[in-house]
Structure formats: structure tokens, C-alpha cells
Amino acid sequence: MRVSRLILLFLVSVFICQSLYFYSQMPNEMATHFGIDGRANGWMSKQFSLFFDIGLLLLFLGISFGIPRLTEKMGDSFINLPNKNYWLAKDKRNDTFQYFRNRFEWLGVGLLMLLNMISWTIFQANLGENQRLPSVIWLFLFAFVCFVVVWVITLNRKFHKT
């Protein structure tokens, strides 16, 4: 099994364990939206919050595994790729789509790490008296943006080569 899949499995496990651990400790109405200053300004029931988070988890897994497979099934005319004729030629096609699958699994790793970190900060805010996000949220967001920038650059570099 690829490292990216093992990490995804681990992150899904962390999400489930974290949700189960904190769920009973959450108030019935959870702060789930926060202003730029970190103060809560939106709430939802803890049940809906859990369903929303599970929906995000499924969406992120769908992005990780679904987009590359959907792209592979599409006709070549729907694929926008530099040097498309080269990368989708019979002798390169399988390697190209294998690369897509691998890269999107790593994108899923980044998305699930972000989901776990944001969920953790929301749980922490709801455990506190003032329902305020920990400032470490900015570090998590910055790290995710850096991850996405590197992900896009490496994807772009790969397909500009011939």
C-alpha cells in the first residue's frame, strides 16, 4: 500500500477518534463560525456539526480518489493538460493517470490534515469559556496554503516537461 494511502487511513482514524472523544463534551449549540479576531459569531447544533464534518470528510475523500478516476474516464477532449498529446499517448497514458492518482491522494492528505486541525481548534474553542479559536489556527492555515502551492507547482512542473 502506498504511503499516501496509509497516511489517509491514519487521518481518517484520527478524525473519527477525535470526533468521538470530543462529541460528548460539546455544548448542544456549538460555536462553528468565527470572525477574523477568533470570536464566535455563528453556531449550530452539535449533531449538525458532526454531520457537516462527516460530509467534509467524504467530500475530501471523494476529491482524493474520485477526481483522478473521473478524469481518466473522460474523453481526452475534456482534459486540459500541457503537452496533452505527449502525456496521453498510449505509451505514457497509464503512467500519467497513475501520477494523477498519487498526487490527488497527497492532496487528500493535506485536506484531511486541515480538517483535523480545524476540527480540533473548534473543539478547543467550545471547551473554553469565551468560545474563541486558538491562534494556532493561523499556523494551520498558512501551512495548508504552503502545501497547496507546492502541490500545484510540482504538478505543473511535471506536465510542462516533454
Please write down the HEC assignment for all residues of the chain.
CCHHHHHHHHHHHHHHHHHHHHHCCCCCEEEEEECCCCEEEEEEEHHHHHHHHHHHHHHHHHHHHHHHHHHHHCCHHHCCCCCHHHHCCHHHHHHHHHHHHHHHHHHHHHHHHHHHHHHHHHHHHHHCCCCECCCCHHHHHHHHHHHHHHHHHHHHHHHHCC
Query: Which pTM value belongs to this model?
Result: 0.91
Per-residue pLDDT 10s for the chain (162 aa) are 799 999 999 999 999 999 999 999 999 999 999 999 999 999 999 999 999 999 999 999 999 999 999 999 988 889 888 889 999 999 999 999 999 999 999 999 999 999 999 999 999 999 988 889 999 999 999 999 999 999 999 999 998 876
Query: Domain residues of the chain, as ranges?
Result: 3-160
